[in-house]
Amino acid sequence: MSEKSELPESQTYFTPKDLPQELQQLLIVDDDPFILDLLSEFFSRLGYQYYLAGDGLEAMSLLEQHLITIVITDLLMPRMDGMELIRETKKLWPEIDIIAITGYSRDFNYSDVIRAGASDFIRKPFNLDELKAKLDRIIRERGYRALLKRLSIRDILTDLYNRRFLDIKLEKEAQRATRQNYPLFLIMLDLDNFKELNDTLGHQAGDEVLRRLAGVLNDSVRSNVDIPFRYGGDEFAIMIPHASTEQVKQIAERIRRNYLNEQDIGKTSLSLGISRFRRTNKGLREDINELIYKADSSMYIAKRAGGNRVIFQEETKKE
């Protein structure tokens, strides 16, 4: 249920200016039709996408169906009041921001609402400019949080995901692959003759080659399925779920060939190693470590054999 209200990876990272207004989806919750009409007209004029709900239960249904980013809710409502809605929303969709509105300050105070999980609080009768200012602040803060998240999981030079995020994604994907019984592969790859290129042409040229390789990886894998990572230095990884052995070999060969077609890469080429995730009676972490070790080992076999090749040890052993 909670997955429906999470923004896709491709929509969660922006500059610190803010999250673009057009990517916000608001949910306005109030049992007063006049307030709903007023806020509907107001947010329409500002160009926001929004949904309307008359109480907390209706709001929960809409949260399950849509990628809501910000909830603006009254507190006193029938069936499910605003405080319960805030608590349930933050429990299921912690990334959603909430502005609470009430005309009865004696029943609810600011600290109670914030402790429940709201981002801000406004009292009726409210000024629309004040509401807009609070909304603008929340959107700016969402932008900063998104940027910090991006910096924590992305490599600055190549803009690929980093090794830290590989560990996170591999664990989630390995659990899912085990549950749903589909294959999961890992490709590890390393640049051949990269040190020589750095020594002769300089580190700026080396950085440009790494960026070119990142572009090759993005262009060579299946969009929105396979995920490339910068593992460290001149070593990269690609997580490949839902693929046959033959498909993975084709992806690896496509990466190798496409890289050789790049300009200004000197004498560099790629050594690639493939491994398949196998669940054993050991712990999940041990099985993931084995997946990484086998891919890394296969990659170094390719490198010792002269580089510019793909090695899949399991296949070699069968032969």
Among 224, 208, 202, 226, CA closest to 158: 208
Catalytic residue among 129, 234, 264, 296: 234
Residue 159 bears catalytic tag:
no
Residue 143 near residue 17 (C-beta atoms within 8 A): yes
What is the secondary structure of 179-202 as a DSSP string? Answer: HHT--EEEEEEEEETHHHHHHHH-
Q: What is the largest CA-CA distance in the chain?
A: 78
Counting Cβ atoms within 10 Å, is residue 217 exposed (0-12), middle (13-18) or buried (19+)? buried
Long-range contacts of 197-205 (CB under 8 A, 24+ apart): 197/265, 197/266, 197/267, 197/268, 200/266, 201/266, 205/264, 205/266
Cβ contacts of residue 234 below 8 Å, gap of 6+?
190, 191, 194, 206, 210
The tokens for 84 are 């319960």
Instruction: Round to the nearest angstrom and report the end-to-end CA distance of the chain.
Output: 46
- Residues 191 and 232: beta-carbon distance below 8 Å: no
Tokens representing residue 79 in the block: 């069936």
Positions annotated as catalytic residues are 234
